[in-house]
Amino acid sequence: MKNKIIDYLDSIIPDPKCELKYNKDYELLIATMLSAQTTDKRVNEVTNILFSKYPSLNDLSNANIDDLIDIVRPLGNYHKKAANIKDIAASLKDIGYVPNDRTFLESLNGVGRKTTNVVLSNLFDEPVLAVDTHIERVAKRLGLAKPNDSVREVEDKLTKYFKNYNLCRLHHQLLLFGRYYCKAINPNCENCKLKNICKKDFKWSLLFYSNFNSKCFYFFTII
Ligand code: SF4
């Protein structure tokens, strides 16, 4: 099943790439932090303005907070996100680069495990897998994780299951598969080559009900 999933993802997404635009290491970190609860497209529009106006860590850390709030307003939660930009830039400006250090990264305001995994994976090729809402959904539909598993449990299961694969590549493939093919609403199941192993449509439903010799006979099946 593992190879079937990988082969299919390779066939439909042969050249997976991060859809967040960045030119510098800290730009990826900040863009990923900003991407919470919004789309990569909107983040790219905002960071295009943000990183042009404030082209260094020093500039970002000294930026006027009200101006940052105005810039990131389209992303939602803009007070918090603007403050996080300043805090992250201030924490990094003396070092001058994003370190390969999970503890340090997770200590930054607005930076959790998912953002840290994105950074470690994309910048340092570390064998970690960031799980977002798309990847969580795909993993559960394919039966690679249980419906009630937490995000961390999904991450651990996927990392273990695909341990011999390029997890950075797989992260982008699963994310893009969830975003464009296995969508939350109206997934393209008809053309999906994983439908034979997919668990999405398994649900209990009443197939037929009959009354036989005054006894009720229920027959349920999985469709
Ligand atoms: S069959 Fe549908 S739900 Fe299942 S993996 Fe494919 S697109 Fe997703």
Question: Of 21, 125, 132, 160, which one is the catalytic site residue?
Answer: 132
pLDDT at 200: 84
Residue 85 lies in a domain: yes
Encode pLDDT of 163-206 as tens digits: 989 999 999 999 999 999 999 999 999 999 999 999 887 543 33
Ligand 1 binding pocket includes 200 (Cβ within 6 Å): yes
Kindly state if the Cβ of 189 falls inside 6 Å of ligand 1.
yes
Q: What is the pLDDT of residue 220?
A: 34
What distance in angstroms lies between residue 184's CA and the mean position of ligand 1's atoms? Answer: 10
- Domain assignment present for 52: yes
pLDDT of 202: 52
- Choosing from 13, 134, 179, 181 the residue with most ligand 1 atoms within 8 A of its CB, the one to mutate for a pocket test is 181
Distance 165 CA to ligand 1 centre (A): 21
Q: Does 103 map to a domain?
A: yes
Q: Which of 25, 27, 28, 29 is CA-nearest to residue 105?
A: 29
Task: Give the pLDDT confidence score for residue 96 in this predicted structure.
Answer: 94
pLDDT for res 49 = 98
CA distance 119 to 205: 44
Q: Is the CB of 51 under 6 A from ligand 1?
A: no
Q: Are the C-beta atoms of residues 16 and 98 closer than 8 Å to each other?
A: no
Q: Would 54 be classed as within a structural domain?
A: yes
For tokens 């969508």, what's the residue? 183
Whether residue 139 is contained in a domain is answered as no
Q: Which of 67, 114, 146, 160 is catalytic?
A: 114
User: What pLDDT does 206 receive?
Assistant: 32
Number of domains in the chain: 1
Which of the 8 DSSP states describes residue 121? H
SS3 94: coil
Residue 186 in any domain: the answer is no
Q: Is 214 left (phi over 0), alpha (psi -120 to 50) or beta?
A: left
pLDDT of residue 101: 98
Q: Which residue range is the domain that position 71 belongs to?
A: 25-124
Determine the atom of ligand 1 nearest the C-alpha atom of 198: 4
CATH of the domain at 82: 1.10.340.30
Taking alpha carbons only, the member of 52, 57, 56, 86 closest to residue 69 is 86
Q: Is 114 a catalytic residue?
A: yes
Q: What angle do CA 137, 205, 222 make, to 5 degrees?
A: 70
Pocket test of ligand 1: the residue of 4, 192, 199 to mutate, having most ligand atoms within 8 Å of its CB, is 192
What separation in angstroms does the CA of 120 have from each of 125, 136, 143, 164? 6, 19, 27, 17
Low-confidence stretches of the chain (pLDDT < 50) are: 203-223
Whether 223 maps to a domain, the answer reads no
Which atom of ligand 1 lies at the shortest distance from residue 188's CA? 7
User: Residue 95 falls within a domain, yes or no?
Assistant: yes
Backbone angle region of 127, left / alpha / beta, with phi > 0 → left and psi within -120 to 50 → alpha: beta
Q: Looking at ligand 1, which atom is closest to the CA of residue 187?
A: 7
